[in-house]
Structure 1
């Protein structure tokens, strides 16, 4: 059965604006984050979904509810959560750069060497994303699935589908808030159809 995964990054949050690492912590959507989600809601208004699955994190779940306000059977899956960043969580990029210079360099420039005490590695994230994909392929009867997740998690989806090695984890462009990526699962093949589209953000706002 052919399955189309519509993968959305959550809307902009207050910590995104502050360049503060969230990981498993959370912060509220900004006004822009809410408005962008509403634009995506309108953009996808005529697209039927067989299932809606969100990361349990508040910023993702709130985005999912804005995109699909009438969904009565929305599911959450912890495998869609953001990378756990251990002691980095809640700190700004600048604070992390100065407190953990070697780890910070590995995070961005040598992801295969990145390790964060108390957190996840990129391999950990890719393992749970691969597990999620295999379950969808095995259990889902076909159709369209809307998923709301996080930036690093989306990079893991892209790395898996593009068959990138871990050192090329960041080779794809980083997804903006509410960006839309479309992956097709068909007879054991995984195809990237749309990558990090923000076409909906060019729509005229009525909010």
Structure 2
């Protein structure tokens, strides 16, 4: 009998930023790293003979919990990837719900009828996943194997091995990040021992503990997911100035010394260089925040700057602010940026804690218009990481 532990990757950027990542190669988050450590402890006393993962970074990184402590070779298989989301890749769920609600409804309720330009069908994904997992089991008779894959891909293969019809894929529960399922293969047949177990995760690090979408079939519609539109600093000058004024008062306690004209002129200049770098974050039809990027003027090719990062008061503390980091990553990475850089007043302790929570680290100090500013940076490049032994199959 062969045991196959089927494990979902740790929390990655798409999970945190509420973006659609199928084949998009996203990174594990700070919280995801804690989940990986919890997974390592869970498997510390479990014998494992071989480790496989999809070839995407988030699964390979998660697999380190098992193959590195045992000095095993990690074998990567493209066939273990998530479903390819085609033209939806790296869009926000909020954008897709707004722009293509009919396709979104099919994705949530009728997956076999879903398809967008460039996407993979659910049936094709399920077939390659079932074939790949079966081949891995056949390759390791009477051994124990860990296989790292993705949420929808794992649901599809569990649906297959539980002998349900493909259209019943959503009768399989969602898995938390690093959730574990155990399959036993004997004489070509598979038995599901358990599925989607996340008992190794404390509530503080469980992704699902702070999200609601997975609890019902209306999931993607019920969470608060942002979308973005260009902000015109000329036609919407007052919206921009109001945000700048509020941010200044929050930090300094009054609007004394505030120079709206200087900020507006800078925004106009940046928008002329690249109109897509000044965005209004929208929740439904309401403006929720502003993201201003500087992808040219930091003076270093690999650095993407964030001159202004703002959420309106009524939207603060609702878990939405982190989605703007996701948008900044999405804008910067395709342009070859491996670092995000911003400045923050040390008096704004809440903002400093927020940025630190999501991977920004203080790298220096600079003089600001009033007082000193912390320079904070977040790495967004891929890098190899500790992956000394890797094979492909």
Identify the residue that residue 30 of structure 1 maps to in structure 2.
29
Identify the residue that residue 175 of structure 2 maps to in structure 1.
175
Identify the residue that residue 16 of structure 2 maps to in structure 1.
17
| Contact 1:53 1:146 (8 Å CA) reproduced | yes
Q: Whole-Å Cα distance in 1 between the matches of residues 183 and 138 of structure 2?
A: 16
SS of structure 2 residue aligned to 1:200: coil
Q: Whole-Å Cα distance in 2 between the matches of residues 67 and 116 of structure 1?
A: 36
| Contact 1:37 1:67 (8 Å CA) reproduced | no
Identify the residue that residue 64 of structure 1 maps to in structure 2.
63
Identify the residue that residue 104 of structure 1 maps to in structure 2.
104
| Contact 1:54 1:76 (8 Å CA) reproduced | yes
Structure 2 unaligned regions, length at least 5: 206-393
Q: Whole-Å Cα distance in 1 between the matches of residues 76 and 158 of structure 2?
A: 21
| Contact 1:9 1:180 (8 Å CA) reproduced | yes
Q: How far 1:69 sits from its partner (Å)? A: 2.2
Q: Whole-Å Cα distance in 2 between the matches of residues 90 and 75 of structure 1?
A: 26
Larger fraction in strand? 2
Of the two structures, which has the highest relative contact order with CA contacts closer than 8 Å and spacing of 6 or more? 1
SS of structure 2 residue aligned to 1:190: strand
Q: How far 1:96 sits from its partner (Å)? A: 1.1
| Contact 2:51 2:66 (8 Å CA) reproduced | no
Identify the residue that residue 156 of structure 1 maps to in structure 2.
156
| Contact 1:111 1:166 (8 Å CA) reproduced | no
Residues 203 and 119 (structure 1), Cα distance of their counterparts in 2 relative to 1, 3 Å cut = closer
1:75-94 superposed matches below 5 A: 75-94=75-94
Please report the RMSD computed on the Cα atoms of aligned residues, expressed in angstroms: 1.7
Q: Whole-Å Cα distance in 2 between the matches of residues 104 and 59 of structure 1?
A: 25
**Greater gyration radius:** 2
Structure 1 unaligned regions, length at least 5: none
| Contact 2:51 2:72 (8 Å CA) reproduced | no
Residues 169 and 53 (structure 1), Cα distance of their counterparts in 2 relative to 1, 3 Å cut = same
| Contact 1:26 1:57 (8 Å CA) reproduced | yes
Identify the residue that residue 120 of structure 2 maps to in structure 1.
120
Identify the residue that residue 315 of structure 2 maps to in structure 1.
none
Identify the residue that residue 95 of structure 1 maps to in structure 2.
95
Residues 4 and 33 (structure 1), Cα distance of their counterparts in 2 relative to 1, 3 Å cut = same
Q: How far 1:103 sits from its partner (Å)? A: 1.5
Q: How far 1:137 sits from its partner (Å)? A: 4.2
Give the TM-score taking structure 1 as reference length: 0.92
Identify the residue that residue 46 of structure 1 maps to in structure 2.
45
